[in-house]
Amino acid sequence: MDIVGPFERGSHDCCFAITLVDYFSKWPEVAFAPHVTTDMVTSFLTTVFAREGNPCSIITDNGSQFCSTAFSEFLKERGIKHIRTSVYHPQANGATEQFNRVLKECIQAAETHHKP
């Protein structure tokens, strides 16, 4: 799981993306938001987990949204192990980082295509 952005604001207010990739199926989930808080992240995860079920573990970086007590409690209540990548080593969250790269390229292409 990761946060991507900020993106250039266009005709929309959403300049961040919350991304999540299932390591088994490689299925990505994305939610766009104008800013990212722990509450937004847990709301996004609640929606995904209601549809897909709770995972055994979740990998994140050390972003403030993921290091908060509220996020830790959210995972603990669901029996999900929280694995944090080491600082400055995003390769440890490889599937998500790879998806983020593709997402950024798609957003840049769309922004370029829609500029007058």
Q: What is the CATH number of the domain that holds 87?
A: 3.30.420.10
Domain range for 44: 2-114
Cα–Cα dist 32/20, whole Å: 12
- Count of structural domains within the chain: 1
Asked if residue 90 has pLDDT above 60, the reply is: no
Asked if residue 24 has pLDDT above 60, the reply is: yes
8 A C-beta contact, residue 16 and residue 5? yes
Residue 98 banded pLDDT, cuts 50, 70, 90: confident
Mean residue pLDDT across the chain: 84
Average pLDDT over residues 55-72: 94
Ordered DSSP codes for 15-72? -EEEEEE-TTT--EEEEEESS--HHHHHHHHHHHHHHH---SEEEE-S-HHHHSHHHH
Q: How far does Cα 18 stand from its chain's mean position?
A: 3
Cα–Cα dist 50/103, whole Å: 24
Asked if residue 26 has pLDDT above 70, the reply is: yes
Asked if residue 35 has pLDDT above 80, the reply is: yes
